[in-house]
């Protein structure tokens, strides 16, 4: 681990009167490091009503990165009013082609500022800069371009009704939507949420996670620069029970979209039910099985298993946290998996490393508790298992073998770089055990046999099934969970229906004379 002097600064213009400047005395780059730190409401950066701020940490060093305005109910109220006014007076009358052009402009601006945004993301979240740039930023730009393509193609149907009527249905924007997002892919999660909402003509109040609010605030500047009307998108950093709770229980928010823990998903849904029955979509946790069959390409499977559980420090809702390996190749797989994982480098996200720190001390502590539980319940520690030796929130890539289904580490979402390797004999058994979970977000299989792959894909209960690949995402693919992994689908054409109401119009026509 190197010292914090190596952390680059975001090279960017500074918004007058707001933004935090942080210099890195003796640092390698010597540029100013400024972040936007206020709430973005009605097209302006403003202090929170309470005047409160909260600290944002650099997880790689455990040092303070910035202080950000802390929004709560009073700020959410103002933001919702701005979003409502924008929706009713401007945005719902804005042509689809204009919404398309604005989103394409936004995508261009993000692309033009991608190095800076990737820098902010890595400082704030701790993920390796190369991943921020080549995964998060690349997918963010693609997501906005994909939804720009839909903005002028939101259309209804003519309904073939009996009698002398003309009946059609149209897809109208839902209105004001609240969006609450997590810290694991801060900018990309904002894109997944904003893309379909803005394409369909909704206005938005978005709350980034309290751990990682910075890239969403930079995005707010770009949204403004792209030319979105004031109030169309409002970004309110703040905490879950206060700012998040105010969004999910607001009487004038028409829908809430949430990504995060299953526990909080239930709270959000309950708040929605108890307030105005706003629409709810949820993307929640997972405990996704990855099955390695006897005929699998072993090298490819080892690679995918690493991407599955170590990518983004294991902080991925689809993480392949249960790896079922056929008994005949179990030893060979474990051997190769451990050897490959030993080569993973960890440290300063701005160096050439494959892993950074966990996002927070809280997450680091949780993961360490799970590792302890794994050891005490009798799993065998084949690799890692320790914290890193610095002030950052590092956890070594960890592999447990001889794991059984009933162990805590095989049942609960760990959300860290902790892999459980289990043994199976038959495909039927692997499917049955894979399905024995309250979650159903994703699943994977490595096999060269098409019949095996299809049988697994048909019978596993998961929103996404990867065959001979893992953690591969595309804006055109629907994403979401079975069972307690969530409600609804994001991305693809499917996400559009989360943001539209279907209105049916029936028109009585003069009776047609029937001649025959
Ligand atoms: P969380 O579910 O508490 O936080 C996610 C978002 O929800 C944040 O923006 C947070 O401020 C907000 N939130 C929290 N309480 C809220 C409330 N009462 N009302 C409205 N919004 C609220 O997740 P947390 O605490 O950061 O992580 C805990 C665990 O959740 C992780 O270890 C992981 O297992 C899971 N998780 C899953 C994610 C996913 O992508 N599915 C992402 C983040 C966490
Ligand atoms: Mg929480």
pLDDT at 49 over 80: yes
DSSP letter string, 77-90:
HHHHHHHHHHHHHT
The C-alpha torsion from 89 through 204 and 492 to 157, rounded to 10°, is -30
DSSP labels, 434-449: HH-SSEESEEEEE-S-
Q: Give tens-digit pLDDT for 199-220.
A: 999 999 999 999 999 999 999 9
**Is a pLDDT exceeding 90 seen at residue 316?**
yes
Atom of ligand 1 nearest to the CA of 264: 2
Q: Up-side HSE of residue 451: CA atoms within 13 Å toward CB?
A: 2
Instruction: List, in sequence order, every beta strand (DSSP E) within 306-366.
Output: 322-326
**Segment 385-402 mean pLDDT:** 96
Q: What is the pLDDT of residue 19?
A: 57
What does the alpha-carbon distance between residue 35 and residue 218 come to, in Å, rounded to a whole number?
Answer: 7
Rounded Cα distance, 202 and 92, in Å: 7
Q: Quick: pLDDT tens for 25-40.
A: 333 333 446 789 999 9
pLDDT at 283 over 90: yes
| pLDDT > 80? residue 87 | yes
Residues with CB under 6 A from ligand 1: 180-184, 207, 209-210, 239-241, 244-245, 248, 259-261, 264, 267-268, 283-285, 317, 363, 366, 413, 415
| Mean pLDDT confidence for 143-166 | 98
Confidence at residue 121, expressed as pLDDT on a 0 to 100 scale: 98
Q: Which residue has the tokens 């969530």?
A: 486
Confidence category of residue 7, pLDDT binned at 50, 70, 90: low
CA dist 64 and 376 (Å) reads 35
Closest CA to 491 of 193, 132, 181: 193
21 pLDDT above the threshold of 60? no
Residue with tokens 């229980």: 249
Cα 436 to middle of ligand 1, angstroms: 24
Given a cut of 80, whether residue 5 has pLDDT beyond it is no
Q: What is the chain's length? A: 516
Among 478, 444, 457, which residue's Cα sits nearest to residue 287? 444
What does the pLDDT read at residue 25?
31
Compute the half-sphere exposure of residue 359: CA atoms within 13 Å on the CB side of its CA: 21
> Atom 25 of ligand 1 has which residue's CA nearest to it?
261
């Amino acid at each position: 681990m190197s010292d914090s002097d190596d952390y680059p600064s975001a090279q960017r213009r500074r918004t007058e009167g707001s933004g935090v400047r942080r210099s890195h005395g003796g640092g390698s780059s010597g540029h100013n490091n400024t972040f936007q730190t206020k709430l973005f409401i009605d097209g302006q950066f403003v202090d929170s009503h309470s005047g409160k701020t909260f600290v944002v940490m650099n997880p790689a060093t455990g040092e303070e990165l910035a202080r950000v305005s802390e929004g709560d109910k009073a700020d959410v109220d103002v933001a919702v009013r701005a979003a409502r006014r924008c929706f009713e007076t401007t945005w719902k009358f804005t042509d689809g082609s204009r919404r398309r052009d604005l989103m394409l402009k936004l995508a261009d601006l993000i692309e033009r500022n991608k190095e800076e945004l990737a820098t902010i993301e890595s400082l704030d979240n701790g993920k390796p800069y190369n991943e921020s740039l080549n995964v998060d930023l690349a997918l963010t730009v693609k997501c906005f371009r994909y939804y720009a393509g839909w903005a002028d193609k939101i259309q209804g149907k003519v309904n073939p009704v009996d009698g002398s009527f003309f009946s059609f249905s149209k897809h109208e924007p839902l209105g004001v939507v609240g969006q609450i997002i997590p810290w694991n892919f801060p900018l990309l999660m904002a894109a997944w949420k904003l893309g379909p909402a803005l394409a369909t003509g909704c206005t938005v109040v978005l709350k980034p996670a309290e751990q990682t609010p910075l890239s969403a605030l930079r995005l707010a500047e770009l949204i403004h620069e792209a030319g979105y009307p004031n109030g169309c998108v409002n970004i309110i950093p703040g905490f879950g029970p206060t700012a998040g709770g105010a969004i999910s229980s607001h009487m004038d928010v028409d829908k809430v979209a949430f990504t995060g823990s299953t526990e909080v998903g239930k709270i959000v849904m309950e708040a929605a039910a108890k307030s105005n029955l706003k629409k709810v979509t949820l993307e929640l946790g997972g405990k996704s099985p990855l099955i390695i069959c006897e005929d699998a390409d072993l090298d490819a499977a080892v690679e995918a298993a690493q991407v599955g559980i170590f990518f983004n420090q294991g902080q991925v809702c689809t993480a392949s946290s249960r790896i079922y390996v056929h008994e005949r190749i179990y030893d060979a797989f474990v051997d190769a998996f451990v050897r490959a994982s030993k080569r993973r480098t960890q440290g300063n996200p701005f160096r050439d490393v494959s892993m950074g720190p966990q996002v927070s001390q809280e997450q680091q502590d949780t993961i360490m508790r799970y590792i302890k539980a794994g050891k005490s319940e009798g799993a065998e520690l084949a690799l890692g298992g320790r914290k890193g030796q610095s002030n950052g929130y590092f956890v070594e890539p960890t592999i447990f073998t001889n794991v059984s289904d009933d162990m805590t580490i095989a049942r609960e979402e760990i959300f860290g770089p902790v892999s459980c390797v289990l043994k199976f004999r038959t495909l039927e058994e692997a499917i049955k055990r894979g399905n024995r979970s309250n979650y159903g977000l994703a699943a994977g299989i490595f096999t060269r046999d098409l019949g095996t792959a299809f049988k697994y894909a048909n019978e596993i209960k998961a929103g996404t099934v990867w065959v001979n690949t893992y953690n591969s995402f595309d804006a055109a693919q629907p994403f979401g969970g079975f069972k307690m992994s969530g409600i609804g689908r994001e991305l693809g054409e499917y996400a559009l229906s989360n943001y539209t109401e279907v209105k049916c119009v029936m028109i009585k026509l003069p009776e047609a004379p029937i001649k025959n």
